[in-house]
Structure 1
Amino acid sequence: MHWFYLGIAVLFEITVAIAAGKARGFTHIGWTAATLVSGGVATYFLSLALLTFDVGVGYAIWTSVAGVGIVVLGALFFGQRLNWRKALGIAAVIVGVVGLNISGMA
């Protein structure tokens, strides 16, 4: 169940980033509310996942997977460029998350 909670936390963390970008410095109330609510939901589900995960490992996976998701979605839907350097960074993050998992720490 802890992986399910972490997955939900990741989805809502991605939502935080997208909504915060649309909030334009918190001047758009709807996007501001979406940012704050999504952040609260993400943190809640992260806290449930951290009942099982080591805090450092769970937090590292959460932020890393969400970061990769944000970069990929930015390239797919928001016209942001995905160059070889970003792709290399994504690969490094994936290797790091897999390394955390196979190390027996998660």
Structure 2
Amino acid sequence: MHWLHLSVAVVFEITVALAAGKAEGFRNRTWTLVTLLSGATATFFLSRALLTFDVGVGYALWTSVAGIGITVLGALLFGQRLDWRKALGIAVVITGVVGLQLSGAA
């Protein structure tokens, strides 16, 4: 169940980043509300996941997987550049996440 909680937290954290970009510095009320509600939901599900995961490992997984998702979606949805350096960074992050998982954390 902790992996499900972490996955939901990641989805909502990605939503936070995408909605915050649309919130225009919190001038757009609808996107501001989406940002805040998504942030609260992401934090709730992260806290549920952290009942099983070590805090450092769970938080690292959450932020890194969300960061990858935000980078990829930024390229797909907003035409942001995804060059070889970013792809290499994503590969390094994935390697780190796999390493954390193989360490026996949760």
Q: What TM-score, normalized by structure 2, do the two folds share?
A: 0.99
Question: Which ranges in structure 1 are unaligned for 5 or more consecutive residues?
Answer: none
Which aligned pairs between 1:24-103 and structure 2 lie closer than 5 A? 24-103=24-103
User: Partners of 1:24 and 1:79 in 2: how far apart?
Assistant: 18
Q: What RMSD in Å do the two structures reach over aligned CA positions?
A: 0.5
Question: Where has structure 1 moved over 4 Å in runs of 4 or more?
Answer: none
SS at the partner of 2:51?
coil
Amino acid at match of 1:5: H
Amino acid at match of 1:75: A
User: Partners of 1:77 and 1:19 in 2: how far apart?
Assistant: 13
SS at the partner of 1:14?
helix
Q: Give, in angstroms, the shift of residue 105 of structure 1.
A: 2.1
- The percentage of aligned residue pairs carrying the same residue is 74
Q: What TM-score, normalized by structure 1, do the two folds share?
A: 0.99
Question: Which ranges in structure 2 are unaligned for 5 or more consecutive residues?
Answer: none
Q: Give, in angstroms, the shift of residue 102 of structure 1.
A: 0.3
SS at the partner of 1:81?
coil
- How many residues are matched? 106
SS at the partner of 2:75?
helix
Amino acid at match of 2:57: V
Please state if 1:22 is matched with 2:22.
yes
Aligned counterpart, 2:9:
9
Amino acid at match of 2:60: A
User: Partners of 1:14 and 1:6 in 2: how far apart?
Assistant: 12
